[in-house]
Amino acid sequence: MKVKGQTQWIKEGEITPGITIEEYISRRKRILALLLDKSLAIIVAAPVKMMTDVVPYTYREDTDYSYITGYQQPGGVAVLGHDFGLCMFMLVASPEVCSECSAMTFSFAPY
């Protein structure tokens, strides 16, 4: 996947700079191998931390979530299970309210 304007960082076949899709799949398979039958692993993204009511700190993703998904946005949930592999839920911004960052509302939608 090449992202326009960021081709110097993300090469073909990578999700994040230097880490391929195959590497993320391998990581998930290793975790699934550790899970008992009929069990799930639920990994949650880091929340946004605020300096004040309207000023957020620079976002830093949870290490475990980033290691499994490569996704770098707040509000996601990754679920791993033997029957389905990876299922991700991510926040979707409501277009009616997106004119101001502080007024954003979100709802979960399956990825």
**Predicted confidence pLDDT, tens digits, the chain (111 residues):** 455 555 567 788 888 888 999 999 999 999 999 999 999 999 999 998 999 988 989 989 999 999 999 988 888 999 999 999 999 998 876 665 454 444 444 444 443
In total, how many domains does the chain have?
1
For 73, the domain range is 35-110
> Within a domain: residue 99?
yes
Give residue 90's pLDDT.
87
Give the separation between CA 66 and CA 76, rounded to whole angstroms.
10
> Within a domain: residue 28?
no
Give the separation between CA 45 and CA 32, rounded to whole angstroms.
19
> Within a domain: residue 101?
yes
CATH of the domain at 66: 3.40.350.10
The pTM of this model reads 0.71
Give the separation between CA 7 and CA 11, rounded to whole angstroms.
6
> Within a domain: residue 74?
yes
> Within a domain: residue 69?
yes
> Within a domain: residue 62?
yes
Give residue 15's pLDDT.
83
